[in-house]
Structures are given as structure tokens and as C-alpha cells.
């Protein structure tokens, strides 16, 4: 996907519609608890305004019910962006309408305007043609820098660039980076290439596992999805989270894998998922009254050894319930192993979502090659799916 980027646009004096991903977590007082997605958009925004362009930013936040809801306003994001940029950032009262058009008409080169939450309108998720036209009319050029929503054909991600037409629609620096790391690593990996998959459900990752088995040297499995694989082998899983109906499918994946799919050999179990839980390490069957919450220490060390020899590692999904201290070890050991090989020139990629939260919590986010900003998007990318919202944009 050789796409034109924001640096190729002549932005001086132009109004540039930028689809950013400011869907950031907020606490009860509407304070931002994780600003990574806003920080990730800064290079593209700065590139536009430093070259005399006008940056008009579009984003969604949360899941409003088809109308304005104060708790989903982009006001906190706009205020935080102003601090990060060190200059005023205006917030529009809406994302379309006369008041917004009037506001846009007053903007000068170097100005930044955040449009209010696009999902305050039902037309956004429906990719409504009229809604997309009203958004498109606000700008001269279009930049998509929201990897987290690039797998969704909404008005702000697909309808707007479709309306603006060829020659005026490109990717931003964040998407350029995501495509470089996720795309190059999957298509031309330095070997050995290891994929690590965790999380709760095999069903969420079937297509990912199948795609990665054709590309990776090993696929390491952790998280609750391991218990569905255990079940397919006739092992007892106790009270562990498990998809019994997917056990035959898990078994067929193991057969297809031909030794590439590596399962845990031991498990950290407990009767409760709390910070004070009394834990045991079991090999093989999990007792009927216990539940698995993490890969065991022997598995963690085995995975770390495999990772230490790798030149490319892609990781999506924690090894256990890392949010609780008794069940952090597996995820931490994997994260530390990835940080270790990064310092020796290996390419290490964290596929967003819970894995990104984990590596951030362990203070290792800056010790890996790339932390993706897209949970669902990076997962679909790992499945090998194409993204229509990116395909639509101008080629080099």
C-alpha cells in the first residue's frame, strides 16, 4: 500500500480536514486517563500548521446514542491538545451546520479547530451521503490519521474522502507508521518471526491465527483462549473461561499448525480473580474448583527464550489477567523479553488494546519498536484484511 502522505500536500492557506482518533479514556470527572492517541496525532497536525495550513480535526468519542451527550464531548481532548501544541485550539459547537461553517470561515493559516464528536450524528456510522457532503464542504484537502477507525467505513473515514475525490486525500504520519510496521513485518519479516496471541476468546482470533500460521515461525498462545485449546486436547480446565463449542475448531488449528502453535505447559490458578488471591501453579489438568488466570512460570520462561532468538515479534493480547498482581507475571515476562530484543535491533510490535495497556503499565512502551493505536484495527490487519478507507486514498 504505497500511499501519498500529508507531506506531499501543498497545504499553505488550505483548510485540511484531518480524521484523528481522539477516542481517549476519561474518568468520572472527564479527565483524560491515557493521552497516547492525541500525542500520536501531533506530528501530522504540526506538519500542517507549520506549513501554513489550517487543521480541522474530526473524531468520535465513545458510543453516544445518536445525539449530543456532554460526557462524550471532545472538549477535554481539544483542551489537552492545546497544552500539547502550546497554542490555542478552538472547539466547534458541532461538526456540521451554519455555526460551524461560520467558524471555519474565520480560520487563518496555522489555526487548529476541533469539530465536535462526529457520532453525535447518526449519519456518521451509516456513512450517510448528505452528512459526508456537509463535512467535506468544510475543507479543501483530507488526511486520514486515525488508524484505530481505519477498518470502519463511516462518513468521516470513507464518505468525506470519497466526496473530495482523487488528488486531495492522503494518509497522515501515524497511519504511515502503522502501515510500515504492521505491513512490512507481516509481508517481509526478519526471521525468526514470532507472533504472540492472548486474550479471552479463540473465536475472536481464529482468522488471525490462521493468517499468522502461514507467515510466522511460531505462534505462542496465552490468555483464556489457551483453555479452549486445552479442552480440545482432552485436558480438564476447571472453572476457567472457555469456549466449549470452539474446542473442535481449536483442535483442527492445532493439527494444521504442525508444531508451530505453542501452548502453555503450566498455569497459574486460583479460586478468585483478586489482588489478594491465593494462587497455585499446575501442570496439565486444572482442578475442578480452580480457574486459570495466567500462564505459569515455566511457560513464561519458555516463551521468553523463544522471543530472545527472534528478529520480529508481533504481540496481541495479554498472557493473563495482568490487571491483578497475582496474575501479572506471564504478561510482564513477555513484555520484558520483547524490550530486551528491541535493544539489539529486533522489530517488536504491540498490537494495541490490552497489550498496549499492559506494556504501558510496565513502563516499557518506549522500549519496543511500535505500539499500535488501533486495537480492533490492528487485529483486522493481522487477519490480512484490506482497509477500504485506506485503499480509497491517493497512491504514490
Catalytic residues: 37, 201, 353, 376
Whether the CB-CB separation of 290 and 267 falls below 8 Å is answered with no
CA distances from 123 to 114, 129, 149, 339 (A): 19, 8, 16, 43
Alpha-carbon distance of 46 to 84, in angstroms, equals: 11
Show Cβ contacts of residue 61 under 8 Å, excluding neighbours closer than 6 positions. Answer: 22, 23, 24, 72, 73, 74, 77, 117, 119
Q: What angle in degrees, to the nearest 10, is found between the helix axes of 375-382 and 353-361?
A: 120
DSSP state of 180: I
CA triple 267-354-316, angle to 5 deg: 75
Alpha-carbon distance of 57 to 155, in angstroms, equals: 14
Quickly list H helices, the chain: 36-50, 75-85, 98-105, 123-126, 129-136, 160-164, 173-178, 184-187, 206-213, 225-232, 247-257, 297-308, 329-342, 353-361, 375-382, 388-391
In 3D space, the residue among 295, 291, 284, 293 whose CA is nearest the CA of residue 240 turns out to be 291
What is the signed CA dihedral for 123, 127, 130, 136, rounded to 10 degrees?
A: 110
| Residue 376 CB burial class (10 angstroms; 0-12, 13-18, ≥19) | middle
Alpha-carbon distance of 342 to 313, in angstroms, equals: 10
CA distances from 157 to 61, 128, 199, 219 (A): 14, 12, 28, 33
Amino acid at each position: 500500500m504505497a500511499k501519498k502522505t500529508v507531506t506531499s500536500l501543498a497545504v499553505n492557506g488550505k483548510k485540511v480536514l484531518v480524521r484523528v482518533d481522539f477516542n481517549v479514556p476519561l474518568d468520572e470527572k472527564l479527565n483524560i486517563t491515557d493521552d497516547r492517541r492525541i500525542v500520536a496525532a501531533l506530528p501530522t497536525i504540526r506538519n500542517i500548521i507549520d506549513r501554513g495550513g489550517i487543521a480541522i480535526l474530526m473524531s468520535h468519542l465513545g458510543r453516544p446514542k445518536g445525539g449530543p451527550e456532554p460526557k462524550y464531548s471532545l472538549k477535554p481532548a481539544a483542551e489537552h491538545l492545546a497544552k500539547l501544541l502550546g497554542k490555542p485550539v478552538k472547539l466547534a459547537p458541532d461538526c456540521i451546520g451554519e455555526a460551524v461553517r461560520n467558524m471555519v470561515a474565520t480560520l487563518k493559516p496555522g489555526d487548529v479547530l476541533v469539530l465536535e464528536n462526529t457520532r453525535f450524528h447518526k449519519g456518521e456510522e451509516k456513512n450517510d451521503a448528505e452528512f459526508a457532503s456537509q463535512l467535506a464542504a468544510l475543507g479543501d484537502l483530507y488526511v486520514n490519521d486515525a488508524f484505530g477507525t481505519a477498518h470502519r467505513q463511516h462518513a468521516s473515514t470513507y464518505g468525506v474522502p470519497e466526496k473530495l475525490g482523487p488528488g486531495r486525500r492522503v494518509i497522515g504520519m501515524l497511519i504511515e507508521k502503522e502501515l510500515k510496521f504492521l505491513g512490512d513485518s507481516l509481508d517481509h519479516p526478519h526471521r525468526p518471526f514470532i507472533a504472540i496471541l492472548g486474550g479471552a476468546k479463540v473465536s475472536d482470533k481464529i482468522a488471525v491465527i490462521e493468517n499468522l500460521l502461514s507467515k510466522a515461525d511460531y505462534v505462542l498462545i496465552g490468555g483464556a483462549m489457551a483453555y479452549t485449546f486445552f479442552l480440545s486436547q482432552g485436558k480438564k480446565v476447571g472453572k476457567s473461561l472457555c469456549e466449549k463449542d470452539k474446542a473442535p475448531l481449536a483442535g483442527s488449528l492445532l493439527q494444521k499448525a504442525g508444531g508451530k502453535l505453542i501452548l502453555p505447559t503450566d498455569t497459574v490458578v486460583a479460586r478468585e480473580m483478586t489482588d489478594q488471591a491465593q494462587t497455585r501453579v499446575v501442570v496439565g489438568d486444572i482442578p475442578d474448583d480452580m480457574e486459570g488466570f495466567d500462564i505459569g512460570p515455566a511457560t513464561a520462561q519458555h516463551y521468553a527464550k523463544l522471543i530472545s532468538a527472534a528478529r520480529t515479534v508481533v504481540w496481541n493480547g495479554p498472557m493473563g489477567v495482568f490487571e491483578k498482581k497475582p496474575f501479572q507475571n506471564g504478561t510482564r515476562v513477555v513484555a520484558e523479553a520483547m524490550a530486551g530484543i528491541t535493544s539489539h535491533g529486533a522489530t517488536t510490535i504491540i498490537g494495541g488494546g490490552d497489550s498496549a495497556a499492559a506494556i504501558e503499565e510496565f513502563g516499557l512502551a518506549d522500549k519496543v519498536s511500535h505500539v499500535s493505536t488501533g486495537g480492533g484495527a490492528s487485529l483486522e490487519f493481522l487477519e490480512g484484511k484490506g482497509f477500504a478507507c485506506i485503499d480509497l486514498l491517493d497512491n504514490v
